[in-house]
Amino acid sequence: MSPAINAAARKTFLHSTLLRVLASVAFIPCFFIVTRRGGYHFLALIDVVIFVGMWEFYGMLEAKGIRPYRAIGILAGLRFPGTCTFRNANVREPVSDACVFSAIMTLELTRRDGKNGDSPHPSTNHSSV
């Protein structure tokens, strides 16, 4: 490895580490305050953590060439904390969850990538045979 690349990698690493430490210094006290307060504030914190985690997860999938339904997946993931929080408010929750997941599976089965009508899944792509 050349010294220029090594120096650039080190600078990027230090910058990234500094940002993470500063974020931790700002976030950890907020985390304890919100956790201690509980209620809807804690639910909002959990939703933010789930949203950020799922956003990064779907970003990694897209970087690998997999094209998930990001918005539907994130909305479905954000539904669970609310379902747990308000579980006595609506007895139709399991039915609506089943409908959401059935819709996601149907969309996945019928999705095309837009190029010559090919399937997004290589194992089911029979147009090049």
Handedness of CA 51, 53, 59, 61 (dihedral sign): negative
pTM (2 d.p.): 0.60
d(CA 25, CA 27): 6
pLDDT at 117: 46
Can you give the length of the chain in residues?
129
pLDDT at 65: 86
pLDDT at 79: 81
Give the whole-number percent of the chain exceeding pLDDT 70: 76
* Residue ranges, the chain, pLDDT below 70: 1-5, 88-94, 112-129
